[in-house]
Amino acid sequence: MNILVINCGSSSLKFQLINSESEQCIAKGLCERIGIEGSRITYTPAGGEKEQTVTAMPDHTEAIRLVLEALTNEKTGVVKSLEEIGAVGHRVVHGGEKFAESVIIDDQVLAAIEACNELAPLHNPANLIGIDACRKLMPGTPMVAVFDTAFHQTMPEEAYMYGLPVEYYEKYKIRRYGFHGTSHSYVSRRAAEVLRVPYEALKTIVCHLGNGASVSAVKNGRCVDTSMGLTPLEGLIMGTRCGDIDPAIMEFLAHKENKSIDEIMNILNKKSGVLGLSNYLSSDFRDLEDGYHKGDAYAICAMKTFAYRVAKYIGAYAAAMNGVDLICFTAGVGENSPLVRTLVCEYLGYLGVAVDQEANGKRGEDIVISTPDSRTKVMVVPTNEELAIARETVRLV
Ligand code: AMP
C-alpha cells in the first residue's frame, strides 16, 4: 500500500509517499510560502530529478491539490491515480492527554484535536488545516493522526507534574507532555533491533538533537521522562530556543528592556539557543563548528554549553531509570556532528562510556560508536519520522 505522509505547518507542507511493503520513499517534496506571495512546490520522485515550480498557493487545499497533481503527473508522477494512495498519515503536534496513540481520523477525533489547539497554537491549527484539505480532496481515503506527544503519555506523574499549584493542572492541564515522540519511539525501537536485544529489556536515552532538540528516557519500551514540557521550549538549548532557564528571567528582562510578554516569548523562541549564545553567529551547527575550530569564543561557548546541557540530561535520566544501557544520538546534529557527540560523551566517563573515534566519524547509518568494552553502549541511529508515521498509518488502516 502507498501511504501519503503529510507534515503541515502554517505556511509550509512537507510530504512523502511511502510504499509500506518496501518501506521505501517513492516521492517527496515541500510546499513553501502557502498563502504568501512567491509560493512554490518542490517535488522529487525517487531516483529522479528534483523540480521546483513557482505557482500560486492561496491556501492549503490548493497546496495539497498541487501535491496530488505532482504525484499523479503523466510524466514525472509515481502513481497513475489517487486510488493508488491507500491512506494518509498526518503528523499532529499536540494530542494533549487525550491521545496516547495514533488514531483514525473522524469528526470526533478532529474535535478532540481542536480542543488541544491552545496547547500548541502555532502548530495544531496548521495540522488541522492540512487534514481538512486532504479530506476535501480525497474523501474516500482513510486518514490517521500521529501525535508528537503520544509516545510520552506513559510518563509517570512524578515526571510530568510541575511544581505549581495543582489547580492549574486540574483546570488547564498544565503539565509536561514532551514532543518529537515519533522520533524517540522510532529510534529507541530501531536501536534495539540493530543490537538484537528485546526492546523491553533496555534502558535507553535518546538524544534527538536537531534544530529543535529533546532527550527522552525509555525504560523497558516505555517513555518515563522527556526534556520538552508543556511546549517545545523547555529542556535542551536548541537552535534558537532557550530551553531551561530561571522563569524569573522573564520578568527581569521585561522590566529592563521594556518588553511585553509576547516580545519576551519571541526572544526565548527565536533569538536564543545557540543562535543567541553565539552572539547571533548562527543557529546552524555547521557554522558553529566552523567557528569552534577557528577559535571564535562565542561559537566555542555555544557548542560547549549545548553539549553540557545534553550531558546533564543524560545524567538525570540515568538516575531516573536507575541505570542506562544505551545512549542514542539522532536528528540533524545528533546524526551529523561527531564533534557534538564527542563533547557530550566526554562527560560520561562515570557511565563507562568509551567512544570509538573511527566509528564516530562515519555518517548516515545505524552504527555503534562506543568501543566493545564501553560499559554503556552509544549509537547513532538516523531518525525517520515519515516512515514511523507511515507504519502507524498502515497498522491502523
Ligand atoms: P533537523 O532539525 O533534525 O533537521 O536538524 C537541522 C540541523 O542539523 C541544522 O540546523 C544543523 O544545525 C544540523 N546539521 C545538519 N547537517 C549537519 C552537519 N553536517 N554537521 C553539523 N550539523 C549539521
Residue range 309-353, pLDDT digits in tens: 999 999 999 999 999 999 999 999 999 999 999 999 999 999 999
**Whole-angstrom distance, CA of residue 238 vs CA of residue 362:** 24
The neighbour count for residue 259, using CB atoms within 10 Å, is 15
Phi–psi pair at 108, nearest 5 degrees: -65, -45
For the chain, residues classed under CATH 3.30.420.40 are 2-147, 198-380
For 69, residues 6+ apart whose C-beta sits below 8 A from its C-beta are none
Give the residue whose CA is nearest to atom 19 of ligand 1.
Answer: 336
Mean pLDDT, each 10-residue run in order, the chain (397 residues): 94 96 97 93 96 94 95 95 96 96 97 92 90 94 98 98 98 97 97 98 98 97 98 96 98 98 96 98 97 98 98 98 98 97 98 98 95 98 97 97
Ligand 1 contacts (CB < 6 A) are 210-211, 239, 284-286, 289, 331-333, 336-337
How far is the centre of ligand 1, averaged over its atoms, from the C-alpha of 336 (Å)? 7
Give alpha helix (H) positions in 146-271: 157-160, 166-172, 181-195, 248-257, 261-266
For 297, residues 6+ apart whose C-beta sits below 8 A from its C-beta are none
How far is the centre of ligand 1, averaged over its atoms, from the C-alpha of 231 (Å)? 22
How far is the centre of ligand 1, averaged over its atoms, from the C-alpha of 335 (Å)? 8
Q: Which of 122, 128, 234, 228 is nearest to 179 (CA)?
A: 228
**Whole-angstrom distance, CA of residue 18 vs CA of residue 22:** 8
How far is the centre of ligand 1, averaged over its atoms, from the C-alpha of 240 (Å)? 13
Q: Which residues are catalytic?
A: 148
Label residues 148-164 b or e (16+ Cβ within 10 Å = b). bbbbbbebeeebbeeee
Give the residue whose CA is nearest to atom 8 of ligand 1.
Answer: 332
Give the residue whose CA is nearest to atom 23 of ligand 1.
Answer: 333
Q: Which residue has the cell 536501536?
A: 191
* pLDDT value, residue 321: 98
Ligand 1 nearest-atom number relative to CA 208? 3
Ligand 1 nearest-atom number relative to CA 211? 2
Ligand 1 nearest-atom number relative to CA 339? 21
Give the residue whose CA is nearest to atom 17 of ligand 1.
Answer: 336
Look at phi and psi of residue 47 and say left if phi exceeds 0, alpha if psi is from -120 to 50, else beta: left
**Which one of 3.30.420.40, 3.40.50.1470, 1.20.58.100, 2.160.10.10 gives the CATH number of domain 2-147?**
3.30.420.40
How far is the centre of ligand 1, averaged over its atoms, from the C-alpha of 286 (Å)? 7
Residues in the chain, overall count: 397
Phi–psi pair at 15, nearest 5 degrees: -140, 155
Give alpha helix (H) positions in the chain: 60-72, 107-115, 124-137, 157-160, 166-172, 181-195, 248-257, 261-266, 273-277, 285-294, 297-320, 331-336, 338-345, 357-360, 385-396
Whether the Cβ atoms of residue 164 and residue 171 lie closer than 8 Å to each other:
no
Whether the Cβ atoms of residue 285 and residue 274 lie closer than 8 Å to each other:
yes
Residue range 22-42, pLDDT digits in tens: 999 999 999 999 999 999 999
Residues paired with 222 in a beta bridge: 219
Alpha-carbon dihedral of residues 8, 30, 187, 360, nearest 10 degrees? Answer: -140
How far is the centre of ligand 1, averaged over its atoms, from the C-alpha of 24 (Å)? 23
* pLDDT value, residue 364: 86
Whether the Cβ atoms of residue 173 and residue 97 lie closer than 8 Å to each other:
yes
Residue range 233-249, pLDDT digits in tens: 999 999 999 999 999 99
Structure pTM? Answer: 0.95
Whether the Cβ atoms of residue 238 and residue 211 lie closer than 8 Å to each other:
yes
Ligand 1 nearest-atom number relative to CA 212? 2
Average pLDDT, the chain: 96
Ligand 1: residue of 270, 284, 344 to mutate (most ligand atoms within 8 A of CB) is 284
Residue range 92-125, pLDDT digits in tens: 999 999 999 999 999 999 999 999 998 888 889 9
CATH code assigned to 198-380: 3.30.420.40
Ligand 1 nearest-atom number relative to CA 331? 3
Residue 323 burial (C-beta neighbours within 10 Å; 0-12, 13-18, 19+): exposed
